[in-house]
Chains A and B, each alone.
Chain A
């Protein structure tokens, strides 16, 4: 697309844009509101995390680490924002294969925490390859789908992206991480919808995925099956599988209109609410800042989602549009599933909340995701003049 456009400018006797002019155009077209809200959400995350772990000596060391992660993550966002996303198109296969290899390595040499092997240890830093795998999968699927709109009417058009998403999903499921594995299917659906797959075929895919999950049910770990049962009735096992949901709802309800105040949440600091700094950070946040704080946070997330939709519409080419569609599916699923989980309307799957949950890999991948969206949105114009 860009090559053709520059060719037109050359034919008209105009020189192609120089690096400085391109950079100026890029900065002037940047989606500053999205950039600002992303950084604001990162700061809110740090602030609420500090409040959530205050008075818990075991976790207070997490704050400086999270601050460092935040700086690294913003750096990652700037990098993914600056490098032309069409370069990512060329690097997509390499990124995908490398991440797939890391997922295999995790199974054999990963660090085991809470009965799950999800992390690779490199010196003092641990890294979760499944987080970067999400972005790599979106890129490689978009790279395959973008130049082939004609195959969407055939089963081949569904099969290849399905395999590309299914392979990492399978490897993540073995770790085991049911939440992240299901995320790959949502990402797949988002990209297929926006790539223009026929509706009937999409309905068949959804049915197939649901049937696939139903067939997988007997192979789930007992604790995963218990989570699904508890989701329907947490009171059936209030001290076991239903404990997290009940304590989370208590935390949300006790926040009231304006919350107990920063660092005053008792559910987390008194250890009633497990994982209150990671998966259940939203409950901890609402306990501190109340209904008003919760609505403000949801409003900021909605703003990010709407800006991503806008970026998808404005993308200059199919590749950019499909990439943003996949990333939008990933981001929305994380937000909505985590919030639904903490409020007890969705099963507990261990999906963290973007920007707020503690965890370096996830924070970096979230900011990198936003960076790619900003990248596509900023390069929405085709160069036709000097």
Chain B
């Protein structure tokens, strides 16, 4: 696309490229996730008995979101909203576990798993743990006094995050150690 008298002379000199791109995509994912969360909350306002169907929407969104940093960014507000809206605290960490494994499966299917992918997946897992922490604060310790259920919920979130993290690590080690390293991965490993 060119404008009258102002054709573009190459790429903008300052453009965010290469290493900085995941940060921008992560930010985009967070923004999209916030708007999706707002829509979900509106939905919950109209149909309060159907508000737990939000996770289905979340999973669909995650399934379509590309690339991985956008998915990770999406997870942050969606998990926080999920935790915030929960009425049965124990159920949400299992949702978080489901999303974590869903995410790790997506990663396993991609052609390249770079350190950036791994870092952002880790970030997503931290977001889930944060969701669990909010859940404990809101529904476990402060409000209902359900110390036991809150603690179990939090432990489950940590367990889910840790499992997914180990799985991702295993994928990276396996691919990095094989002879046929995908080109994108080998690029990411070059300092």
A36 to chain B, nearest CB (A): 18
Interface residue from A314, A339, A381 paired with B38 (Cβ < 8 Å): A339
> Given contacts A309-B28, A345-B84, are A298 and B23 in contact (CB under 8 A)?
no
Say if the beta carbon of A252 comes within 8 Å of chain B: yes
Say if the beta carbon of B110 comes within 8 Å of chain A: no
Nearest B residue to A382 via CB reads B9
Nearest B residue to A30 via CB reads B3
Say if the beta carbon of B191 comes within 8 Å of chain A: no
- In the bound complex, CA of A233 to CA of B138 (Å): 8
Interface residue from B4, B13, B20, B37 paired with A28 (Cβ < 8 Å): B4
Mostly helix, strand, loop or mixed at chain B's interface? helix
CB-based contact A386/B5 at 8 Å: yes
B108 to chain A, nearest CB (A): 25
- In the bound complex, CA of A298 to CA of B33 (Å): 12
Say if the beta carbon of B99 comes within 8 Å of chain A: no
State how many residues of chain A have any CB contact under 8 Å with chain B. 52
> Given contacts A29-B3, A318-B14, are A305 and B42 in contact (CB under 8 A)?
no
CB-based contact B14/A232 at 8 Å: no
Say if the beta carbon of A256 comes within 8 Å of chain B: yes
- In the bound complex, CA of A255 to CA of B34 (Å): 21
What's the A-B contact tally at a CB cutoff of 8 Å? 119
- In the bound complex, CA of A318 to CA of B15 (Å): 8
CB-based contact B38/A384 at 8 Å: no
> Given contacts A252-B45, A314-B12, A317-B13, are A340 and B6 in contact (CB under 8 A)?
no
CB-based contact A25/B4 at 8 Å: yes
Interface residue from A25, A309, A313 paired with B5 (Cβ < 8 Å): A25
Say if the beta carbon of A17 comes within 8 Å of chain B: yes
**What mask results when residues 203 to 219 of chain A are scored 1 for a CB within 8 Å of chain B, else 0?**
00000000000000000
Say if the beta carbon of B57 comes within 8 Å of chain A: no
> Given contacts A232-B138, A321-B12, A382-B9, are A294 and B42 in contact (CB under 8 A)?
yes
Q: Within 8 Å CB of A295, what residues of B?
A: 39, 42
Say if the beta carbon of B190 comes within 8 Å of chain A: no
- In the bound complex, CA of A291 to CA of B50 (Å): 14
- In the bound complex, CA of A332 to CA of B33 (Å): 12
A57 to chain B, nearest CB (A): 30
Nearest B residue to A24 via CB reads B4
Within 8 A of B (CB), among A310-324: 313-318, 321
> Given contacts A290-B46, A345-B84, are A232 and B41 in contact (CB under 8 A)?
no
Say if the beta carbon of B106 comes within 8 Å of chain A: no
Interface residue from A255, A301, A336 paired with B46 (Cβ < 8 Å): A255
Give me 14 other A-B pairs in contact (C-beta within 8 A), A194-B24, A302-B31 excluded.
A22-B5, A25-B6, A196-B20, A199-B23, A252-B45, A255-B45, A257-B46, A298-B38, A302-B32, A309-B28, A313-B16, A317-B12, A381-B6, A386-B5
Q: Can you identify 16 A-B contacts, CB atoms within 8 angstroms? A: A25-B5, A28-B3, A232-B138, A233-B138, A253-B48, A291-B46, A295-B39, A298-B39, A302-B31, A314-B12, A317-B12, A332-B31, A343-B45, A345-B37, A380-B6, A381-B9
List the interface of chain A (C-beta within 8 A of B). 1, 5, 17, 21-22, 24-25, 28-29, 146, 193-194, 196, 199, 232-233, 249, 252-253, 255-257, 286, 290-291, 294-295, 298, 301-302, 305, 309, 313-318, 321, 332, 336, 339-340, 343, 345, 380-386
